[in-house]
Chains A and B, each alone.
Chain A
Amino acid sequence: MMTMDMNQPPQDVIRLEKISVRYRLPGEQIHTFKEYVIRLVQKQIQFKDFQALKEVNLQIRKGEIFGIIGNNGAGKSTLLKVISRVLVPTQGRVWIKGKVSPLLELGAGFHPELTGRENVFLNGTILGHSHREIEEHMHEIIEFSELGSFIDASLRTYSSGMYARLGFAVATTWEPDILILDEVLSVGDEAFQRKCQMRMKGFRNGNATSILVSHSMEAVRSLCERAAWLDHGTIRAVGPADEVIAKYRQAQAGA
Chain B
Amino acid sequence: MSNAAPALVAGHGDYASGLVSAAAEIIGEVAAFVTMSNRNLGADEIERVMRELVSSRGVRVIFTDLPAGSCTIAARRVVRDHPDVILITGANLAALLHFASHEAGTAYEAAASAAERAKASVLVVGLPGGD
Partners in one complex: no
A residues near B, CB below 8 A? none
B residues near A, CB below 8 A? none
